[in-house]
């Protein structure tokens, strides 16, 4: 395994000390205690105090050695590894939201490896078609599944104790999603507290290294910009020079007095497919990681990239503030929220041929029922689905995108700050309905940013509720201009990466490597022809997922 790929612990027998490979790069911090050693893969941003990863790790190791580790206060994106001198056990601790992924490979009941690079693990490469079917359906793997039946991902907020010969001694969660609404919390006080905690989270994320901030046309990056402790470099990327997203982002940066650089995304994917699909662990549609288009520039500009990941989920309702729609179950509603258009082709042409007697959608419903059922103690069904989505979609899809950022700079995620998470567990759903809390925070603390257009509303935050009417004339004019120029609005990265004659040849060549092991050639050729005749969101997703599958199988040396 190359040293840039993370860490691996190879377990043996009780008489053989496990091999522990770790790279000499910035992702690793090692500290020595009086009788123990601790490693941090990733970063600790705080542990009872804001400090460096090294100092936080020293305190955490000391507390662990004295059996008083306060695991819920471990704050950052990390996998921690602790070992006492002379012992025959390893302790592995994951962060609260599973932002740093690591995996276990088994032979029967025994663990043979734990590692952070899925492609390098010593798997027997028997494909888990139930897991792959969930990947096709949602764009991410459900539960702890990966491509391989003998390899599972480590769960968020878990402590694993594993013996030298690979036996799991204990594995338990140290935190759980819950909603404990504070009846004394007024809405006005909630806005104040949100501001305090968001500033604290951003300050922690900006404490070490040269920081840069990508800005979009939405509210999450704007909210981070509003509370930055210092002036930093910002940037945005769009699909054209006149991108709405980059236009709004530049206005946000200008209003806040921040340096700004605009990027246009050009074709890059096939030239870097192996690098990108391996960085994403094959666990996300490769066209979704559009941040990879500017990795080189980001690497030159800073050490740390802030991202507003998860803000739009935690700062909004799921859509159930008024209860479930009539004659719809919570499982049905949740599946509608997260399943993808274009999944049917993948299920019908690949999953069914490998699942035997199992029905692809029955397997999906069973997974969803089990997943949502694990949060049945949360009374508020909106927050219950939010917890489910965080523990699935955010854990397996959103957090995969962090590795796309990491190709350029270390990603830090202020909305993952443990104090901010704890706060939102006390906030009534009514306070965040329709982004109310986030909008009112910007109006109160950054009115200059509230006056900038919100892309999804088509108006600024003071007029957002009338946005569809305010933006109607502009949308009509833009549509007429595109019609006269015979231009099509580019809204998705796959349109840039796939829709050109030379890219068609590359895409066809890439996808045909899947034949005949995974899909029939005639069905695949028909899909490609239909895609180029009439590209849409559904077949665009299907083709993108097939490119991801082909790229991953090549990276895993299965093709």
Which residue in 314, 255, 555, 277 sits closest to 432, CA to CA? 314
pLDDT-derived band at 2 (thresholds 50, 70, 90) equals very low
pLDDT-derived band at 223 (thresholds 50, 70, 90) equals very high
pLDDT-derived band at 483 (thresholds 50, 70, 90) equals low
Q: Exposed, middle or buried: residue 454 (CB in 10 Å: 0-12, 13-18, 19+)? A: buried
H/E element, 524 = helix 521-533
- List b or e across 329-364, with b for residues whose CB sees 16 or more CB atoms inside 10 angstroms: ebbebbbeebbbebbbbbbebbbeeebeeeebeebb
Residues 6+ apart with CB under 8 A from 548: 277, 282, 284, 285, 286
State how far the Cα of 559 lies from the Cα of 546, in Å rounded to an integer: 13
Residues 6+ apart with CB under 8 A from 210: 301, 302, 303, 304
User: Is the four-CA dihedral 64, 70, 72, 78 of positive or negative sign?
Assistant: negative
**pLDDT tens sequence across 326-354:** 889 999 999 988 899 999 999 999 999 99
H/E element, 408 = none
Sheet containing 233-238: order of strands: 259-264, 233-238, 211-214, 304-306, 410-412
**Residue of 138 and 1 predicted with greater confidence:** 138
Q: What are the respective helix, strand and coil percentages of the chain, to the nearest 5?
A: 45, 15, 35
* Peptide bond between residue 472 and the one before it cis (omega within 30 degrees of 0): no
Which residue in 141, 142, 176 sits closest to 157, CA to CA? 176
State how far the Cα of 151 lies from the Cα of 45, in Å rounded to an integer: 29
**pLDDT tens sequence across 423-472:** 999 999 999 999 999 999 999 999 999 999 999 888 999 988 866 666 65
SS3 29: strand
SS3 233: strand
**pLDDT tens sequence across 234-245:** 999 999 998 999
pLDDT-derived band at 22 (thresholds 50, 70, 90) equals low
Q: Exposed, middle or buried: residue 524 (CB in 10 Å: 0-12, 13-18, 19+)? A: buried
């Amino acid at each position: 395994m190359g040293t840039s790929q993370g860490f691996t612990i190879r377990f043996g027998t009780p008489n053989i000390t496990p091999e522990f490979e770790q790279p000499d790069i910035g992702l690793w911090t090692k500290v020595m205690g009086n009788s123990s050693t601790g490693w941090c893969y990733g970063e600790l941003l705080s542990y009872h105090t804001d400090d460096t990863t090294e100092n936080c790790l020293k305190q955490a190791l000391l507390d662990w050695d004295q059996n008083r580790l306060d695991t819920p206060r471990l704050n950052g994106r990390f996998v921690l590894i602790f070992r006492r001198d002379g012992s025959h056990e390893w302790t592995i601790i994951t962060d609260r939201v599973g932002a740093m992924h690591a995996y276990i490979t088994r032979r029967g009941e025994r663990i043979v490896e734990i590692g952070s690079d899925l492609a390098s693990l010593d798997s027997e490469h028997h494909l888990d078609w139930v897991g792959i079917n969930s990947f096709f359906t949602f764009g991410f793997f459900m539960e702890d599944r990966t491509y391989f039946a003998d390899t599972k991902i480590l769960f968020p907020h878990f402590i694993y104790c594993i013996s030298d010969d690979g036996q799991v001694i204990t594995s338990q969660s140290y935190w759980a999603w819950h909603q404990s609404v504070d009846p004394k919390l007024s809405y006005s006080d909630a806005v104040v507290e949100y501001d305090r905690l968001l500033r604290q989270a951003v300050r922690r994320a900006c404490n070490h290294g040269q920081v840069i901030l990508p800005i979009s046309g939405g509210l999450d990056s704007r909210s981070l910009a509003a509370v930055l402790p210092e002036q930093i470099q910002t940037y945005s990327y769009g699909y054209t020079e006149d991108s709405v997203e980059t236009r709004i982002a530049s206005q946000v940066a200008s209003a806040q007095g921040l340096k700004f650089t605009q990027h246009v995304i050009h074709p890059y994917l096939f030239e870097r497919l192996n690098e990108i699909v391996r960085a994403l662990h094959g666990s996300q549609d490769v066209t979704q990681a559009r941040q990879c288009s500017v990795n080189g520039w980001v690497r030159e500009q800073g050490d740390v990239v802030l991202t507003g990941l998860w803000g739009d989920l935690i700062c909004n309702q799921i859509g159930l503030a008024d209860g479930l729609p009539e004659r719809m179950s919570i499982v049905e509603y949740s599946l509608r929220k997260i399943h993808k258009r274009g999944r049917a082709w993948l299920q019908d042409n690949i999953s069914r041929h490998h699942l035997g007697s199992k029905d692809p959608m029955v397997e999906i419903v069973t997974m969803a029922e089990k997943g949502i059922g694990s949060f049945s103690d949360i009374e508020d069904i909106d927050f219950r689905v939010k917890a489910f989505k965080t523990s699935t979609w955010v854990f397996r899809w959103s957090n995969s995108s962090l590795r796309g950022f990491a190709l350029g700079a270390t990603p830090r995620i202020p909305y993952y700050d443990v104090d901010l998470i704890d706060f939102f567990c006390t906030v009534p759903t009514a306070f965040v309905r329709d982004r109310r809390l986030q909008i009112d925070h910007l109006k109160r603390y950054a009115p200059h940013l509230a006056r900038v257009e919100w892309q999804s509303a088509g108006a600024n935050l003071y007029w957002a509720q009338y946005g569809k009417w305010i933006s109607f004339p502009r949308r009509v004019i833009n549509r007429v201009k595109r019609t006269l120029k015979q231009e099509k609005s580019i809204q998705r990265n796959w349109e840039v990466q796939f829709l050109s004659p030379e890219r068609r040849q590359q895409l066809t060549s890439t996808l045909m490597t899947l034949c005949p092991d995974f899909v029939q050639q005639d069905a695949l050729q028909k899909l490609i022809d239909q895609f180029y005749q009439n590209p849409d969101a559904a077949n665009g997703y299907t083709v993108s997922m097939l490119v991801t599958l082909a790229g991953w199988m090549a990276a895993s040396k299965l093709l």
